[in-house]
């Protein structure tokens, strides 16, 4: 886009030009810099330029405009006093004109106040004498402040069809990173961040200012102007905190939109809330796309895994942009797919996060066991993890854990200075309540949520440690003997975590008729997201509805071969005072799933004993219910 600002001296062309340049991320060109030395000398002597003097100058400017247009555009400040001059500078169809004008006395005062400008204030009258009223573009009176002139110019440019492809609301870490990701792919983006006096002021503009390399970003604090800046049908990606803030934002946004527009919620919203919102917007004929996004700040900036749900028409409207933004799988395909109807996109993101919780907790348990049980240094544990990461255990979380174990601050390990109280924003706990709602055993991942809860009870833990004399004990066994077992235990615990998550997804998908495609879900989780790993690559290839997850080739062998290693590692850890909630829960969950003759007969007998709840018998295949009078008297 090319913007030319014209006007006589003192109208504020440079101030406006620099303002537009900053706001639109376009380079600023000052026409005075294109004058020949002869012209400059003439003007310094107070002699007006003739049309002949101006011709080579106008030609140089026209050439420069064309050259800059090829590189993405520019803002030019140039007197261009006559329509003939302006015509010579009209070089492209995507070119906009803003003509500044003001009262002679105001301009005179401004010029007298200037320093270091080669024009003499006396030139003003001659300029005004030849100035012609423009036949095209915006004629703007400069009586207002420079900020008002800038805003009026931006309003004009937007009204002239300078429409942006997509809008991103919320300039937090994720919103900003996704917007920059889009801009890098050549997509024009309007940025919106609310204005909160003294707290959030000029936030979106600061993003533009910090990234002059992306001229296709435009910042807004005014919601209406933000909406008006967008190409129709509008596509708006909300990246704001989950919960009430989403509904409040929809309340203010929806009245400004048209029925064919699309709103996307890219935060970690609870999937049932998302379903309500899909229905709410459907009620007014509008599309709503609840969309999981994984990958943290770096993923969002360089390529996240994207999980959109809602109606497919909505997805089709933005598929092109989402594919540009997303990470690429090993075949070069984007890690985004239309997940399914309703809140399914947010649902699978929620389950993704609970697997993430499980994976993180298992690694935390192993770091502790290796460091304080087997006496490894942090650097040794890091080296062990790095070694594991070269093979089938490769995962992003293993990699970052190996990394953080080496991070020093002032010569000391930063990890040891971090308070041992884990935070959580809700997705893990929502997965657990969903698993309970659908009757799906979820103990390994539930324990990851519970472990975070217990970690927050620091004061009680400290008091109890003292009262009960608890200490982490050194394990006398040889690390070299234990290490292969620990590695196999880790491999199996990971399989169990993933199995629990995929089982929950399958159950909910069947119950809701979503028909989720799990090979495809695993595929979009092979890159960009936090739980990307070699294991996910094999799930993407091998997942099948025909057999249970635990029976998949590659996984079946691990389940068979590693069970005892997991049990042994849990055993040695527990006896030496290490809490291993996810490793232990995984071992129990797996055993419970493969025990043919379980202890549940006792439970049934107890229930029938005290409550006449009845039971079925192994020796009666009809499935009939029995009740026994358990007391002899
Ligand atoms: C991701 C992450 C991301 C975020 C979690 C953290 O996939 O990119 O999961 O969504 O880091 O929300 O959640 P907790 O604060 O609950 O650990």
Residue 424 CB–ligand 1 contact under 6 Å: yes
Separation between Cα atoms, residue 376 and residue 477, nearest integer Å: 13
φ, ψ (nearest 5 deg) of residue 238: -90, 125
Per-residue pLDDT tens over the stretch 163-213: 889 999 999 999 999 999 999 988 889 999 999 999 999 999 999 989 877
Residue 25 CB–ligand 1 contact under 6 Å: no
Q: Which of 462, 473, 438, 268 is nearest to 354 (CA)?
A: 268
Mean pLDDT over the full length of the chain: 94
- Other CB atoms within 10 Å distance of the CB of residue 383: 15
Check whether domain 164-342 has CATH 3.40.50.720, yes or no: yes
Residue 268 CB–ligand 1 contact under 6 Å: yes
Per-residue pLDDT tens over the stretch 358-370: 999 999 999 999 9
Separation between Cα atoms, residue 194 and residue 219, nearest integer Å: 11
Per-residue pLDDT tens over the stretch 91-148: 987 799 999 999 998 888 888 777 665 566 667 888 899 899 987 889 999 988 999 9
Separation between Cα atoms, residue 354 and residue 498, nearest integer Å: 9
Specify the ligand 1 atom closest to the Cα of 353.
9
Q: In CATH terms, are 2-158 and 164-342 the same topology? A: yes
Separation between Cα atoms, residue 340 and residue 314, nearest integer Å: 12
* End-to-end alpha carbon distance in the chain: 96
Whether the Cβ atoms of residue 428 and residue 357 lie closer than 8 Å to each other: yes
The whole-number pLDDT of residue 117 equals 59
Domains in the chain: boundaries: 2-158, 164-342, 354-594, 599-633
Task: List the beta bridge partners of residue 77.
Answer: 5, 30
Residue 294 CB–ligand 1 contact under 6 Å: yes
Q: Which of 325, 357, 352 is nearest to 339 (CA)?
A: 352
Supply the residue whose CA is at minimum distance from atom 1 of ligand 1.
294
Separation between Cα atoms, residue 340 and residue 312, nearest integer Å: 8
Q: Which of 123, 98, 152 is nearest to 10 (CA)?
A: 123
**Percent of the chain, pLDDT > 70?**
99
Specify the ligand 1 atom closest to the Cα of 357.
17
Separation between Cα atoms, residue 30 and residue 5, nearest integer Å: 10
Indicate if the alpha-carbon torsion angle 116, 118, 123, 129 is positive or negative.
negative
Per-residue pLDDT tens over the stretch 518-539: 999 999 999 999 999 999 999 9
By most ligand atoms within 8 Å of CB, the mutation choice from 268, 297, 426 for ligand 1 is 268
* 412-413 and 408-409 beta bridge pairing: antiparallel
What confidence category does residue 545 fall into, taking pLDDT thresholds of 50, 70 and 90? confident
Tokens for 100? Answer: 């500044």
Instruction: Please tell me the total number of residues recorded for the chain in this structure.
Output: 633
Task: Write out the DSSP string of 521-556.
Answer: HHHHTSSSSTT-BHHHHHHHHH--SSS-GGGSTTHH
Check whether domain 2-158 has CATH 3.40.50.300, yes or no: yes
List residues with catalytic annotation.
349, 356
Tokens for 113? Answer: 């106040």
Per-residue pLDDT tens over the stretch 503-515: 999 999 999 999 9
CATH number for domain 354-594, candidates 1.10.1040.10, 3.40.50.300, 1.10.3080.10, 3.30.1360.120: 1.10.1040.10
Predicted TM-score (pTM) of the model is 0.80
Query: How far are the Cα atoms of 163, 233, 317, 612 from residue 217, in angstroms, in the given order?
Result: 11, 19, 20, 70
Helical segments of 71-103, H only: 83-89
Q: Where are the beta strands (DSSP E) in 221-340?
A: 235-238, 262-265, 287-294, 305-308
Whether the Cβ atoms of residue 212 and residue 75 lie closer than 8 Å to each other: no
CATH superfamily of 599-633: 6-Phosphogluconate Dehydrogenase, domain 3 (1.20.5.320)
Residue 359 CB–ligand 1 contact under 6 Å: no
618 CA from centroid of ligand 1 (Å): 47
């Amino acid at each position: 886009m090319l913007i030319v600002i014209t006007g006589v001296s003192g109208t504020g062309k440079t101030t406006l030009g620099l303002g537009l340049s900053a706001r639109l991320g376009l380079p600023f060109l000052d026409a005075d810099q294109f004058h020949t030395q002869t012209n400059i000398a003439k003007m310094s002597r107070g002699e007006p330029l003739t049309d002949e003097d101006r011709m080579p100058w106008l030609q140089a400017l026209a050439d420069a405009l064309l050259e800059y247009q090829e590189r993405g555009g520019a803002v030019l400040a140039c007197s261009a006093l006559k329509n003939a001059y302006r015509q010579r500078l009209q070089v492209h169809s995507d070119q906009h004109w803003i003509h500044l004008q003001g009262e002679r006395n105001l301009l005179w005062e401004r010029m007298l106040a200037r320093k270091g400008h080669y024009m003499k204030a006396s030139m003003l009258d001659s300029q005004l004498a030849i100035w012609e009223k423009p036949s095209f573009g915006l004629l703007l009176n400069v009586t207002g402040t420079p900020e008002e002139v800038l805003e009026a110019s931006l309003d004009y440019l937007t009204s002239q069809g300078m429409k942006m492809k997509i809008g991103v609301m919320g300039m937090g870490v994720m919103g900003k990173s996704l917007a920059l990701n889009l801009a890098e792919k050549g997509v024009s983006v309007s940025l919106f961040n609310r204005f909160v006096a003294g707290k959030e002021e000029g936030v979106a503009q600061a993003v533009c200012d910090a990234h002059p390399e992306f001229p296709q970003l435009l910042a807004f604090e005014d919601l209406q102007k933000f909406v008006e800046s967008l190409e129709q049908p509008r596509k708006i990606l909300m990246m704001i905190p989950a919960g009430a803030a989403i509904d409040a934002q929809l309340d203010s946004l929806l009245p400004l939109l048209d029925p064919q527009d699309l709103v996307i919620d890219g935060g970690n919203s609870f999937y049932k809330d998302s379903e309500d919102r899909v229905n709410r917007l459907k009620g007014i004929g509008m599309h709503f796309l609840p969309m999981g996004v994984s990958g943290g700040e770096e993923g969002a900036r360089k390529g996240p895994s994207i999980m959109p749900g809602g109606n497919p028409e909505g997805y089709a409207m933005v598929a092109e942009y989402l594919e540009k933004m997303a990470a690429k799988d090993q075949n070069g395909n984007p890690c985004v797919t239309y997940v399914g109807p309703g809140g399914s996109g947010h649902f699978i993101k929620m389950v993704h996060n609970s697997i993430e919780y499980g994976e993180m907790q298992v690694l935390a348990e192993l770091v502790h066991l290796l460091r304080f049980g087997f006496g490894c240094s942090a650097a040794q544990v890091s080296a062990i993890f790095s070694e594991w990461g070269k093979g089938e255990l490769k995962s992003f979380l293993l990699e970052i854990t190996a990394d953080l174990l080496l991070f020093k601050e002032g010569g000391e390990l930063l990890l040891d200075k971090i308070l041992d109280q884990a935070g959580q924003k809700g997705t893990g706990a929502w997965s657990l309540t969903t698993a309970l709602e659908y009757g799906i055993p979820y103990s390994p991942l539930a324990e990851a949520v519970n472990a975070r809860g217990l970690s927050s009870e620091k004061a009680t833990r400290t008091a109890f440690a003292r009262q009960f004399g608890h200490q982490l004990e050194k394990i006398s066994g040889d690390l070299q003997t234990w290490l292969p077992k620990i590695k196999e235990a880790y491999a199996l615990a990971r399989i169990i975590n993933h199995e629990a998550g995929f089982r929950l997804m399958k159950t909910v998908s069947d119950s809701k008729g979503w028909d989720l495609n799990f090979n495809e879900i695993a595929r979009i989780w092979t890159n960009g997201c936090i739980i990307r790993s070699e294991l996910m690559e094999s799930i993407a290839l091998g997942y099948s509805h025909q057999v249970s997850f635990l029976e998949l080739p590659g996984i079946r062998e691990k389940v068979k071969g590693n069970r005892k290693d997991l049990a042994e590692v849990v055993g040695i850890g527990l006896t030496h005072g290490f809490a291993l909630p996810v490793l232990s829960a995984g071992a129990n969950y797996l055993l419970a799933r493969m025990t043919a003759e379980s202890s549940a007969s006792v439970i049934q007998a107890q229930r029938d004993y005290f409550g006449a709840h009845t039971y079925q018998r192994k020796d009666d295949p009809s499935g009939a219910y029995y009740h026994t009078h358990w007391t002899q008297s």
